[in-house]
Amino acid sequence: MFPIKVAKQSKDHIEHFGRKWTGESEFEGQLETYDMHDLFNQSQLDATKQANIKYECQASKMEYIMKNGNTVGAVGIAGVGKTTMVKILAKRNQSSTVMDESPIIFFISLRDVNFAQECSVLKFLNSSMLSSWPNSKKMDAKLLKKLSEAKEVFIFLDGLDEASTLSAEELTTKMTLFDTEKPDVILKNLLCGHIFPRAKKFITSRPGAYRKLNSEYCPEFTVTVLGFEKESIEQFCRSVGGNAFYDEVVQPALATNPTISSLSRIPMFCQMIVQYLSRESSSLSSIFSISDLFVFTFLTFIRCTNFHGNVSDIPKLSQLALKAFVFDQHTFSKSEFEEAGISSACVDTFMNMDNTNTNFRILDGENVFYFSHLLWQEFLSALCLVVFATDDSFESCSQSFGKDRWHSVVKFVFGLINPISLAKLQNAFPLIKRINLSQKRRVLYDFLDALLDDYTKHAVQFYPTPLETLNYSHELSTMEYHNSTAHQQLLALVSWVFELNDERLKQNVADKLPKTIHLRGEISSNAMSSLLQLLSNTGISRDICFGTYVVSDYVVFDEESFNQLLVGLRNTAHKVNKN
């Protein structure tokens, strides 16, 4: 086990409003980190503290603690280790005992749930373990009674962002354990505590999908998964390649490439970097982005000696990935591969790259198949859009580029349209050597310009003094929304521009940024690296703001991203503005 760092997210409360930001206490709470095994204990402590503040009635306190103290949310960017973390937690709790009774564990990958079909609570809980649930009301009643009386029940819900058709509306249907409902309703009732209120629930998600959860059932206790610390990177690399490999190859390579060094904090990317170095035994000079890492890893599969598929299978696989992504589908039957004309040999190769110590794979499953990580489906979707899709199809899909769930696909589109990455693909696929991307580039640049214009219009909305001049129910929430949205737009802008690696575009975007750049929420070291590189392309002074006088707009830095900010602004015209 290689430790993954998490930090507690803080929520703005009314009692914070009107208090001047000090620059100290806010950061202390926000940067507080926990061992992930203690998260449920911390959730209970936080809920108890809030219950004592909110209520005087003991029954109301207990009800609040029951609802909010038994649920933990974990958010993080793609590949940061959320699924790994939840599996470790599930395995750890499986071996514990309470009053000589082993806990009951349910692990649910939400991509396995059919959200369009009604089901029983037990069928929902077993979505990732059993392909079908025996229809026996008598047996169900006995099992539900046992679950209700069990000393400890853990329900791990992984991948909210892969839950198709989950709405963000308020909970309108309160159910019992014996009802049959849509999975959407069951999930919300679980998080609200209407069913299994004593069970401990743990749900993971990318930030975009998590932000859309209604406050009625969004976990009060939420942590941001920050990925590997330096010690974990070293442990992982030494375990895979040995001490000499780390000392002589990995450490020097990471030291000479700050961008890749920050990417190595993301466990999935760290694994890919190790694979690259173990094969190339060279520097990382030819790898400058996430897209580059994926292009290398993908081409490694195709070129390996045990690849028995046809290169012609790749367009078919990418088209299947895109078609499924558009309709929010993340699992595939064997017949779907056959109908797409994808050979079983191609599927077998992508199931396991067994000639490396990392045991890397792109596809997984047995009777039902899925991409080993959503990022692989997103990468192949982007590959289809850039290389194989028609201009009309590309423009049609571009209408969705601004949606949260398309963020990673768009990042890969920018990365694959980069001439360097494109050249690597053209060497692998001779049929695309004469591809004309002028129309797709125009659509992409127009989309980027529109996003930049929207960001500059709504980038910072400072809260007035006195705050009482606002209508809390509308104006305050509107300003909170705009500031949060602007921050997400900024991170998207810098990451996409960085992937494209076009110096003229970088300068154009950097020059158009507003005077004040307002940061809030989680800032990964990779995002900070992209932002600082963009700012290095302009001589216009900028104020980097991460707090206002009347409300604390919390920022989650990881250890490296905060240091990057301080070092990166040194000897520049830009400055940190604590207002």
pLDDT, tens digit, 9 for 90 and up, residues 108-127: 999 888 888 898 899 899 88
Mean pLDDT of the chain: 80
Rg (CA), the chain: 24
**Section 33-47 average pLDDT:** 76
| Domains of the chain, residue spans | 35-228, 288-432, 446-577
**Is the per-residue pLDDT at 365 higher than 70?**
yes
Label residue 131 by pLDDT band (50, 70, 90): low
**Section 363-382 average pLDDT:** 90
Nearest one of 162, 387, 406, 370 to 295, comparing CA atoms: 387
The H or E element that residue 232 is part of is helix 230-241
CATH number for the region 35-228 comes to 3.40.50
**Is the per-residue pLDDT at 513 higher than 80?**
yes
Residue 472 has what pLDDT?
43
**Is the per-residue pLDDT at 471 higher than 50?**
no
Q: How far is CA 325 from CA 322, 413, 435, 472, in A?
A: 5, 14, 24, 38
Residue 424 has what pLDDT?
85
For CA atoms 483, 556, 266, 37, give the dihedral sign: negative
**Section 147-165 average pLDDT:** 86
pLDDT, tens digit, 9 for 90 and up, residues 56-88: 999 999 988 988 899 999 998 888 888 888 888
pLDDT, tens digit, 9 for 90 and up, residues 515-573: 888 787 777 778 888 888 888 888 888 888 775 443 445 666 766 777 888 888 887 88
Q: Does 138 or 169 have the greater pLDDT score?
A: 138
CA angle 485, 488, 493 (to 5 degrees): 125
**Section 381-398 average pLDDT:** 95
Residue 341 has what pLDDT?
92
**Is the per-residue pLDDT at 146 higher than 80?**
yes
Secondary structure, 3-state, 239-300: HHHCHHHHHHHHHHHHHHCHHHHHHCCCHHHHHHHHHHHHHHCCCCCCCCCHHHHHHHHHHH
Among 20-24, 224-228, 440-444, 488-492, which is the least confidently predicted range? Answer: 20-24
pTM confidence score: 0.85
For residue 466, cis peptide bond before it (omega within 30 degrees of 0): yes
Report the residue count for the chain: 579
Output the DSSP codes for 311-348.
TTHHHHHHHHHHHHHHTT---EEHHHHHHTT--HHHHH
pLDDT, tens digit, 9 for 90 and up, residues 258-275: 777 888 888 889 888 888
Question: Taking a C-beta distance cutoff of 8 angstroms, is the pair 284, 335 a contact?
Answer: no
CA–CA distance, 214 with 169 (Å, rounded to integer)? 6
Tell me, what DSSP letter sits at residue 167? -
